[in-house]
Structure 1
Amino acid sequence: MASLNFDGWLPIRIWKSAGQWQVDWCWFGDTPLHQPFFREAVERALQLPFNQAFRRQTPLSALTDWQTLSPGLAPSAFILHASRCGSTLISQMLARLDDHIVISEPPPLDALLRSDLPAAERRAAITGLLSAYGQRRRGMEQRLVIKLDAWSIGEWPLLHECFPDTPWLFVYRDPLEIAVSHLRRPGMHMVPGLLGECVLDDDLPFEGREDFIARRLGRLLEAARLHCADFGGLTVNYNELPEAMTGRLASFFQLNAEQCEQALTASAQHAKQPSQAFVADGESKRREASPLLQARVERCARAPYEALERLRALTTWPTDPPSP
């Protein structure tokens, strides 16, 4: 293990081959991860001549070996979400801060969370993976924030076992607006059979896309309600953004006034397409919703959404950012 050196390398893929779990690594050097999603940063890094000439693959055990040799930052916060609800905006605002490492929806973490590894081995691999992401590649990093995939709310108890003291939040919005977004351009968890087994399944037949999306959205919001109540997650509604970054989210992420101002510079841009300006679209999405979709959402997703709203109303959190 003494010769193990992954300085500047990050895990980009974890998969099972011939019964053995493997890790694929990519060299990033000291390049910060400013892209909206980790996979986009990977695509850019793989275009480097070095990464085209050299590939690095290891057994899964290399994650824990590297953590022992060079422990990285422990996660300072987790961001979970209902999808299409502002979580990418939050992660992009944090990515503006030089002392933050922000990893947004890394596929290797999803692979481990939903793997068939024995419990102890899976926990060790997860902590090793996040230690690798928490390496101080530029020397100034102080905090590591991980944004998970929307369906990862089902695996939250497992992640909480690994990091019981790490604060987390759940971002959501009016379920009708989320449903319209997925009808326009469905996420992989809103396409039948694409994601594989997860907490969103109810194993019942469905009638059309509206029915399928509304039911899965309802189950996602209900899982979030249960976990926020049981594990102390901070509930954040889309309609609080971006202003909440100067209030209770500033306290949650421990940002001072200068950092808040810097983070807010990202709010004028479209979070997923930074080259475009942000335009509020909630009203247009509600107008676009068909009567069928409205009925399905009311039946399947409105109750857990309202329960999250009640939970948010009961949540107390400091509203002033910490002093510099």
Structure 2
Amino acid sequence: MDGLNLHGWLPIRIWQPRDEWRVDWCWFGDRPLSQPFFREAVEEVLRLPFNQAFRRQTPLSGLTEWRQPGPGLTPSAFIFHASRCGSTLVSQMLACLDDHILVSEPPPLDALLRSSLAPQERAAALVGLLSAYGQVRRGTEQRLVIKLDAWNIGELPLLRQCFADTPWLFLYRDPLEIAVSHLRRAGMHMTPGLIGPSALDDDEPFQDRESWIARRLGRLLQLGLEHCREHHGLALNYSELPAAMEGHLGDFFGLSAEQRRAAFARVGQHAKQPAQAFVDDRQGKQQQASARLREQLEQWAQAPYVALEQWRSAVRQPRLSSSATTPPCP
């Protein structure tokens, strides 16, 4: 890149227009990534006059050559999740800490993980991408936490080839409550054909939304279970939030007592819409579920969910007594 200085620039898109993979970079300067999702932070900075006038694009090799004045932080934790189960709350609790960089579901990471790149080239690009996200842009950053898209649980082994020592957790909840949420407003991975081929695909034809969501949710939970067993992930149920941040979840992230108190400033707010107060809707979701949905979830998703609960109980210290009295957040 002929010495091109990309400090303060973050990758916002990775794609293959023809034969060569390309990277789009956007100027963030010292702006923190405080929004619930990375794409929202991108939309905000793209409105800056500077970014409307100047854009930078590099070959994929730019991810490994950008390191000026030096490499960024190595990831300190990965957050995997089953969707609609509290992962945004956890990430927002961490994002309010000055020494944390929280990158939530960045599309470039998904693009690399599910790309057809050769293994060595993909691994180098993954390391370079997360190093770019780990830039110390404000001077206070010490930890980098990455929250992945729900369907990326299928690519966890690929990520661990690059970051074998980085701890990770898998967040999940009662599959009925997840499924009702997707029936109300389907996520990308619960909309046929929207995200392209993924680890959630199976050979079953589409019949109806209830069976489609139940099958994919069952596959997602099964992958989470298998990877927790094989790669020693922390299994975390939505019902443990937010109290777990005071105990074993705070330990997992290495938070001090002061940081745990600061993180709880997010509790009571709606994680995806911080201006709104959180309202616990678990009972409403349970009541809304149709007989057809319950039948399909029993067939496809209940077994891996029960197995995850058994795994969590077997490897976990006794639950915090306060978890039963502190309401969870989305």
Q: Show the counterpart of 2:4.
A: 4
Conserved 8 A contact 1:26-1:56: yes
Shift in Å, 1:318: 9.9
For 1:35, give the aligned amino acid.
Answer: Q
Residue 316 of structure 1 deviates from its aligned partner by 3.5
Identify the residue that residue 199 of structure 2 maps to in structure 1: 199
Number of the residue aligned with 1:171: 171
Give how far 1:4 is off: 2.3
After TM superposition, list the pairs within 5 Å mapping 1:98-117 onto structure 2.
98-117=98-117
| Structure 2 portions without partners, runs of 5+ | 321-330
How many pairs were matched up? 320
Separation of aligned partners in 2, 1:128 and 1:103: 15
Number of the residue aligned with 2:273: 273
Residue 251 (structure 1) aligns with: 251
Structure 1: runs of 5 or more not aligned:
none
User: Deviation at 1:45?
Assistant: 0.3
Report the counterpart of residue 326 of structure 2 in structure 1.
Answer: none
Matches of 1:127 and 1:295 in 2, distance apart? Answer: 43
Counterpart in 2 of 1:294? 294
Q: Give, as a single letter, the amino acid of the residue that structure 2 aligns with 1:118.
A: A
Listed one character per residue, the Cα deviations across residues 69-99 of structure 1 (whole Å, up to 9, x for unaligned) are 6210000000000000000000000001000
> Comparing 83-92 with 204-213, which one deviates more in the overlay?
204-213
Would you say the 8 A contact 1:247–1:318 is kept in 2?
Answer: no
Asked if residue 66 in structure 1 is aligned to residue 43 in structure 2, the reply is: no
Q: TM-score, normalised by structure 2?
A: 0.95
| AA matched with 1:189 | H
Question: Could you tell me whether the CA contact under 8 Å between 1:247 and 1:319 is conserved in 2?
Answer: no
Q: 1:79 is matched by which residue type in structure 2?
A: I
Residue 67 of structure 1: how far off its partner (Å): 3.7
Instruction: Answer whether contact 2:15 2:22 (CA < 8 A) is retained.
Output: yes
Shift of 1:204: 1.4
Q: Which residue of 2 aligns with 1:236?
A: 236
* Residue identity matched to 1:165: D
Assess, with a 3 A threshold, how the Cα gap between structure 1 residues 40 and 207 changes in structure 2: closer, same or farther.
same
State the superposition RMSD in angstroms.
1.4
Q: For the structure 1 residues 319 and 299, does the alpha-carbon distance in structure 2 shift closer, same or farther, using more than 3 Å as the test?
A: closer
Q: Secondary structure in 2 aligned to 1:57?
A: strand
Paired with 1:256 and 1:319, the residues of 2 have a C-alpha distance of: 20
TM-score normalised over the length of structure 1: 0.97
Q: Secondary structure at the match of 1:295?
A: helix
Distance in 1 between residues matched to 2:271 and 2:98, nearest whole Å? 18
Counterpart in the other structure of 1:95 = 95
1:284 corresponds to: 284
